[in-house]
């Protein structure tokens, strides 16, 4: 079993306005990428919070996970974790579809994921 810790990831784009979480390790579909249950519980959603169904959290690693209309991970409200939905290889950016997990998008934005399934505006 992998140790799900910061040493398994790095943040790319430091110094820019677009930061992203890159994995250093391989994850198979269905495998837990991050345990979100240890995130700081918030009063409500904000731009970097993650909706766990019964609460919103700020997580020191997951805050760098960006939206994609064709993601490689999703938020599991039951296990309070970020789970791979496709094979994720070292060097891949970890992404999830905000519209599938967030009840409220606090800061709408134009998506530039480039997927043929792109919704354009996330709000």
14-41 pLDDT tens trace:
666 789 999 999 999 999 999 999 999 9
Confidence of residue 44 (pLDDT cuts 50, 70, 90): very high
pTM exceeds 0.85 for this model: yes
Dist. CA 42–CA 6, nearest whole Å: 22
Report the C-alpha gap between 48 and 19 in whole angstroms: 12
Q: What is the pLDDT of residues 47-95, one digit of tens each?
A: 999 999 999 999 999 999 999 999 999 999 999 999 999 999 999 999 9
What CATH code would you report for 6-122? 2.170.270.10
User: How many CB atoms neighbour CB 105 within 10 A?
Assistant: 16
């Amino acid at each position: 079993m992998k140790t799900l810790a910061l040493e398994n990831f790095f943040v790319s784009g430091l110094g820019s306005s677009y930061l992203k979480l890159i994995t250093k390790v391989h994850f198979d579909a269905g495998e837990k990428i991050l345990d979100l249950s240890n995130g700081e519980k918030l009063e409500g959603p904000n731009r970097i919070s993650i909706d766990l169904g019964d609460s919103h959290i700020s997580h020191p690693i997951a805050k760098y996970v960006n939206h994609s209309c064709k993601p490689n991970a999703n938020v599991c409200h039951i296990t309070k974790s970020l789970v791979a939905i496709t094979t994720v290889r070292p060097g891949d950016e970890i992404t999830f579809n905000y519209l599938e997990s967030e009840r409220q998008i606090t800061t709408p934005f134009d998506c530039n994921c480039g997927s043929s399934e792109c919704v354009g505006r996330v709000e």
